[in-house]
Amino acid sequence: MISQPKISESLDILYRLYDFLEFNDSIKGCQIHDDILKNFTLDELIISNSKLKNVTFEGSTLPKAYFNDAIFENCDFTSVNFEKSTLKRVKFIDCKFAGTMLNNTYFENVTFDNCFIFGAIFNDSSFSNIAFKNSNLKESSFSNLVLKNTDFEYCNLCETNFTNTSLSGIDLRTCDISGIITYANDIRGVILTRDQSLAFIKLLGITIID
């Protein structure tokens, strides 16, 4: 079971995020609404015990970020660089991650709910207790990953890259896996519908003649 973010009932309202981060690198116990942080650069940004809604981070460079006990709703992370970050007990709702760099990142108890994650990069990361729900992950890359207790529910996984990532025990029956990219060894133990299995048979170069 995924542990949910632990957030205080009483949060301070933070205005003018850009100005605040010019002199601070930590956001703690805050709620932020309708703000913009485009093309901003900051190493090791910390966001904890906080809620962010309608906040745009588009084009920012935020490596080695640390997000803990946080909820992001309708936030835009398009083309953001989050490499080598750590996310623990974080929930993303209706967020956008088009082309986002999340490689070499540690995810623990993280939920992506109804998110647009087109072409995002998760390579060389580690997942523990993760859920992707009703999300578009088309053309994203999950190469060289460790997937521990990871769920994909009603997701678009078309042309998604899972090379060198074991899918053993992963249930993809509710997902669209058209054009998925993986290796034969990676799909051992994956859970599929009968129709979905045909896609992997083609991947293995097997021809079926009735």
- Tell me: pLDDT of 206 over 70: no
Q: Would you say residue 16 lies in a domain?
A: no
Q: Would you say residue 178 lies in a domain?
A: yes
Kindly give, in sequence order, each residue whose CB lies less than 8 Å from that of residue 116, ignoring residues fewer than 6 positions away. 95, 96, 97, 98, 135, 136
The whole-angstrom separation of Cα 150 and Cα 103 is 17
Q: 66 φ, ψ to 5°?
A: -130, 110
Residue of higher predicted confidence among 179 and 155 = 155
Q: What is the pLDDT of residues 79-122, one digit of tens each?
A: 999 999 999 999 999 999 999 999 999 999 999 999 999 999 99
Number of domain units in the chain:
1
Q: Would you say residue 209 lies in a domain?
A: no
Say which CATH number the domain at 101 has: 2.160.20.80
The whole-angstrom separation of Cα 82 and Cα 80 is 6
Q: Would you say residue 4 lies in a domain?
A: no
- Angstrom CA distances, 66 to 50, 107, 133, 139, stand at 12, 10, 23, 26
The whole-angstrom separation of Cα 200 and Cα 171 is 14
Residue 115 has what pLDDT?
A: 98
Q: What is the mean pLDDT of residues 15-37?
A: 95
Residue of higher predicted confidence among 184 and 14 = 14
DSSP assigned state of 116: B
Domain coverage including residue 74 = 26-203
Mean pLDDT of the chain: 94
Q: What is the mean pLDDT of residues 187-205?
A: 79
- Tell me: pLDDT of 132 over 70: yes
Which tokens sit at 10?
């009483």
Q: Would you say residue 58 lies in a domain?
A: yes
Q: Would you say residue 48 lies in a domain?
A: yes
Residue 210 has what pLDDT?
A: 64
Q: Would you say residue 81 lies in a domain?
A: yes
| pLDDT-derived band at 207, boundaries 50, 70, 90 | low
> Is the entire prediction scored with pTM above 0.75?
yes
| pLDDT-derived band at 204, boundaries 50, 70, 90 | low
Q: Would you say residue 90 lies in a domain?
A: yes
Q: What is the pLDDT of residues 138-152, one digit of tens each?
A: 999 999 998 999 999
